[in-house]
Chains A and B, each alone.
Chain A
Amino acid sequence: SAVISQKPSRDICQRGTSLTIQCQVDSQVTMMFWYRQQPGQSLTLIATANQGSEATYESGFVIDKFPISRPNLTFSTLTVSNMSPEDSSIYLCSVSGGPGDTQYFGPGTRLTVL
């Protein structure tokens, strides 16, 4: 399976600021995804990061709030914009070799917004 790293591992941010989370994979992957895990909850898909084109967002998530980049097959970023305390969550990067392949997860970024 791919080795996935995320930066930062955790952060404490002030309301109204933005944070960019990086996801790096040690091998080329077809699919990259971003999930959110609110405290005590399950994982919710934010978007699919598409290389060379705009990300595909799930219902309830918009590009202005969660801009995503994917410049190549091993790297993606998720920005949490204009943060509020409700954005306090674990943000998880996930990758897959393609349709039908298992999804693997990074260690997550633990965000606290004050």
Chain B
Amino acid sequence: GENVGLHLPTLSVQEGDNSIINCAYSNSASDYFIWYKQESGKGPQFIIDIRSNMDKRQGQRVTVLLNKTVKHLSLQIAATQPGDSAVYFCAENIWGNTPLVFGKGTRLSVIA
């Protein structure tokens, strides 16, 4: 691979379990947040987004939770599969004022 996420925090989960990946964002003025998944050798892939007028949004097997009080974002993956193994990044911006600022990232490792 291209050493994506080599030095990033790692979360290891058993296949079939739920995963929770956390992110502390930096700008209290940010009102748009995205989670990206980056597999080895690929660019970041959009997973799910949420605007600040919501505190929860659900997709297929994924849920994003937003706590503006403590500037915290989380991504929950239900029934984690080996194909979910990747590096996950949160990103933020002020809606109407791109571009995105990225968080540090977390490597998710799924144990079969």
Contacts and interface: CB of A to CB of B under 8 A. Distances in A.
Interface residues of B, number: 29
Contacts of B8: 40, 42
Which DSSP category, helix, strand, loop or mixed, fits chain A's interface?
Answer: strand
B95 A100 contact: yes
Interface string B18-36: 0000000000000010101
Contact of A94 (B2, B3, B97, B99): B99
Range of interface residues on A (Cβ < 8 Å): 20 to 34
B49 A90 contact: no
A41 B104 CA distance: 7
Contacts of B98: 31, 33, 48, 96, 99-101, 103
Given A1-B46, A104-B46, A106-B43, A40 B99 contact: no
Contacts of A41: 7
